[in-house]
Amino acid sequence: MQNCQNVYEPQEDSELLLKCALREIRISDTVLEIGGGSGFVSYFLKEKCRSLLATDINPYAVKCMKKLGIECIRTDLARGIKGKFSLILFNPPYLDLTEHERRGEWIEKAINGGRGGAEITARFLREIRANLDQNGRIIIIASSLNLHSVCRDMEKLGFSFRIMDRTKLFFEEIYGIKIMPQS
């Protein structure tokens, strides 16, 4: 993988998303990765599905993914994307940065989840149903720092979900969560 400046480098959360996605992906899937960043996850999935599209709000990330041969669009979450996808992936920002920690840099978009670290995830969950096939699945990453809030939002929005896998870090635990619309 290449090293991209101003782009979130793959970490344990990226590896967990890839691990869960590899268990879930089917050759017939149309995949949308929200916030593809360096392209780490999409790069390893693009040959394992029918089609793959990635998005990112960061222009440096879009450039980085295109260098890897990943079809990518610069947008906020999935805004402006009209298609339906059978598998949607998202490693959302989940830190709650203090005023002092915010500097207005592009990398901040990849880590600042807003108040409680869950605002971006909540907005994603409210908006993404328009892009999900009827029998589609979503895999997201959540942190023990915001898991309660994320689960509450999923329930409120009529999603069923289960934890696929988890990784223990020194100050938190991160979860790979499979989400599906309730029938």
For the chain, the structural domain boundaries read 12-181
Confidence band (pLDDT; 50, 70, 90) for 108?
Answer: low
pLDDT tens, position by position, 113-137: 567 667 889 999 999 999 999 999 9
15 secondary structure, DSSP code: H
Average pLDDT over residues 8-18: 92
Which DSSP string do the residues of 30-97 spell out, in sequence order? EEEEES-TTSHHHHHHTTSSSEEEEEES-HHHHHHHHHTT--EEE-STTTT----EEEEEE----B--
pLDDT beyond 70 at 33: yes
The closest of 28, 24, 30, 113 to 77, measured between CA atoms, is 113
pTM of the model: 0.92
Question: How far is Cα of residue 136 from the mean position of the Cα atoms in its chain?
Answer: 15
Calculate mean pLDDT across residues 34-45.
96
The model's pLDDT over 47-104, given as tens digits with 9 standing for 90+, comes to 999 999 999 999 999 999 999 999 999 999 999 999 999 999 999 977 655 565 555 5
Kindly report which listed range (6-20, 100-114, 160-174) carries the lowest average pLDDT score: 100-114
CATH hierarchy code of domain 12-181: 3.40.50.150
End-to-end CA distance of the chain: 40
Strand order in the sheet with 132-143: 72-74, 51-56, 30-34, 85-90, 132-143, 173-181, 159-168
Q: How many CB atoms lie within 10 A of CB 63?
A: 15
Coil/strand/helix, residue 3: coil
Q: What is the pLDDT of residue 77?
A: 94
CB atoms within 10 A of CB 158: 10
Q: Is the dihedral of CA 27, 52, 33, 47 positive or negative?
A: positive
